[in-house]
Amino acid sequence: MRKLPSGRYQASYLGPDGRRHSAPETFERKPDASQWLAGMETEIAQGEWRDPQAAEQFLTRNRLRSLSKNNAVHARHARFDYPHHLLVA
């Protein structure tokens, strides 16, 4: 854990994958950063840890897939009128 020039705390840990992982946010108080780190250590010790980057990539792929499916459905029912209007039937 380190104190940033802003006065906030950045928590990070060495994961089971051998890479350093940082908390998704910084913390105003050192005890909050310590609590987050303790939670990560517990997940690792109990074998429940998941790579946060892999999880985010999975969610991003699924969001994009969902958006493309939803847009395809809407596109079938929509037509464009010049200059800037989208009319949905």
pLDDT at 9: 97
Q: Which residues pair with 14 in a beta bridge?
A: 20
**pLDDT value for 40:** 92
Higher-scoring residue by pLDDT: 47, 85:
47
Q: Residue range 64-83: average pLDDT?
A: 52
On whether the CB atoms of residues 13 and 41 are closer than 8 A, the answer is yes
Could you give phi then psi for residue 26, rounded to 5 degrees? Answer: -95, 165
At 7, list the tokens.
């006065």
Clarify whether residues 28 and 57 are in a common domain.
Answer: no
Is the pLDDT reported for residue 72 higher than 60?
no
Kindly state whether residues 41 and 63 are assigned to the same domain: no
pLDDT single digits (tens) 15-70 = 998 999 999 999 999 999 999 999 999 999 999 888 877 655 555 666 666 665 65
Q: How far apart are CA 71 and CA 2, in angstroms?
A: 44
What domain range includes position 44? 1-49
